[in-house]
Amino acid sequence: MKIYTKTGDDGTTGLFGGTRVPKHHIRIDSYGTVDELNSWLGLIRDQDIDPIYQQQLTAIQEHLFTVGAILATDPEKEILKNGKNRLKITKVGTIEIEFLERVIDEMDSQLPPMTHFILPGGHTTVSYCHIARTVCRRAERISTLLFQNEPFDKNVLSFINRLSDYLFVLARKLSYDLKAKEIKWIPKKKD
């Protein structure tokens, strides 16, 4: 099988189920942004970080493939004629969301309380986390717009929302582990 099919040369692409849509369709933008996020998570996972975080990130990346598959499925063709779901994969649900909440709480319990906003940075790995967090927020914004127009499993939105929180706390935990300085944002007082 060749990598290139030439079917997208007209500016369209196929959804799971066969429907063709323009490559600028909000559905393509939503799962494309999830794919971009997944790539950033791979970069973070490739850093010299605790293997526990690497394992967490691998699991999250697998869940993001599921999220992408859900977003890439034409809602009108999700259910087959025999009544079965076209996607024969376990969907992202409360277990995956609670996993993120649990590890967020574990990391947060080991950190000093946050009293101010923090400027992104301090270490390259921490910066990668902040970039991933902002891409995750963009994925959330695009996906919520898609959801308004073409609803899908709402757990996807909860998972993406919780993932951005996870990435923020992971950035703080890596700053702590790497002994990188967190620079607080303290607004200047107006004279």
For position 85, what pLDDT does the model report?
62
- Nearest Cα to 57, choosing from 154, 151, 137, 125? 125
Q: At 16, is the secondary structure helix, strand, or coil?
A: strand
Class assignment of domain 22-74+89-181? mainly alpha
60-106 tens-digit pLDDT: 999 999 999 999 887 765 555 666 666 667 789 999 999 999 999 99
Report the predicted TM-score, pTM, of the whole model to 2 decimal places: 0.89
Amino acid letter at 122?
G
Token pair in block for residue 39: 């790539």
Is residue 8 within 8 A of residue 20, CB to CB? The reply is no
For position 79, what pLDDT does the model report?
55
* Residue extents of the structural domains in the chain: 22-74+89-181
Is residue 49 within 8 A of residue 125, CB to CB? The reply is yes
For position 191, what pLDDT does the model report?
74
Question: pLDDT tens string for the chain (191 positions)?
Answer: 778 778 777 787 766 776 777 678 898 899 999 999 999 999 999 999 999 999 999 999 999 999 999 998 877 655 556 666 666 677 899 999 999 999 999 999 999 998 888 889 999 999 999 999 999 999 999 999 999 999 999 999 999 999 999 999 999 999 999 999 888 888 888 87
Distance CA 159, CA 31 (A): 14
If phi > 0 it is left, if psi is from -120 to 50 it is alpha, else beta; for residue 120 that is beta
Which long-range contacts link 106-115 to residues 24+ away (Cβ below 8 Å)? 107/169, 107/170, 107/172, 107/173, 108/169, 108/172, 110/173, 110/176, 111/169, 111/172, 111/173, 111/176, 112/176, 114/172, 115/184
